[in-house]
Amino acid sequence: MTALTDHGVTALAALDDHRLARALADAAGEVLLALRSRADDGVDPAQLKADGDRQSHLFLMDQLAAARPDDAVLSEEGKDDPVRLRAERVWIIDPLDGTREFGEVPRDDWAVHVALWERGDLVAGAVARPARGSTLATDDLPGPPGPGVQPSGRLRLAVSRSRPPAFVARLAERLDAELVPMGSAGIKATAVVDGTVDAYVHAGGQYEWDSAAPVAVARAAGLHTSRIDGSPLEYNREDPLLPDLLICRPEVADHLLTVISELNNEGNLT
Domain 156-266 CATH class label = alpha beta
Mean pLDDT of 210-226: 98
pLDDT at 154: 87
Check whether 137 has a pLDDT greater than 90: yes
The CATH number of 6-135 is which of 3.10.20.740, 1.10.357.10, 2.40.50.140, 3.30.540.10? 3.30.540.10
Residues whose CB is less than 8 angstroms from the CB of residue 185 and which lie 6 or more positions away in sequence, other chains included: 97, 98, 111, 202, 206, 210, 211, 214
Give the length of the chain. 270
- pLDDT classification of 160: cutoffs 50, 70, 90: confident
Check whether 186 has a pLDDT greater than 80: yes
Instruction: Tell me which residue of 106, 116, 118, 99 sits closest to 186, measured CA to CA.
Output: 99
pLDDT at 43: 79
Q: Where are the alpha helices (DSSP H) in 120-176?
A: 166-175
In the sheet that holds 245-248, the strands lie side by side as 178-182, 156-160, 199-202, 245-248, 224-226
CB 65 within 8 A of CB 45: no
pLDDT at 42: 73
pLDDT at 151: 43
**pLDDT tens digits along 52-64:** 999 999 999 999 9
pLDDT at 143: 62
Check whether 76 has a pLDDT greater than 80: yes
Phi, psi of 8 (to 5 degrees): -75, 170
Residue with the bigger pLDDT between 61 and 12: it is 61
Percent of the chain with pLDDT over 70: 91
Phi, psi of 32 (to 5 degrees): -70, -40
- pLDDT classification of 3: cutoffs 50, 70, 90: very low
Q: Where are the domains of the chain?
A: 6-135, 156-266
Residues whose CB is less than 8 angstroms from the CB of residue 117 and which lie 6 or more positions away in sequence, other chains included: 89, 90, 91, 92, 123, 212, 235, 236
Residue with the bigger pLDDT between 220 and 269: it is 220
Domains 6-135 and 156-266 share a fold: no
Residues whose CB is less than 8 angstroms from the CB of residue 187 and which lie 6 or more positions away in sequence, other chains included: 97, 98, 109, 110, 111, 129, 158
Check whether 233 has a pLDDT greater than 50: yes
Mean pLDDT of 90-99: 98
CB 142 within 8 A of CB 194: no
Neighbours of 84 (CB within 10 A): 19
Neighbours of 251 (CB within 10 A): 13
Check whether 2 has a pLDDT greater than 80: no
CB 201 within 8 A of CB 179: no
Instruction: Tell me which residue of 193, 225, 33 sits closest to 122, measured CA to CA.
Output: 225
Neighbours of 111 (CB within 10 A): 33
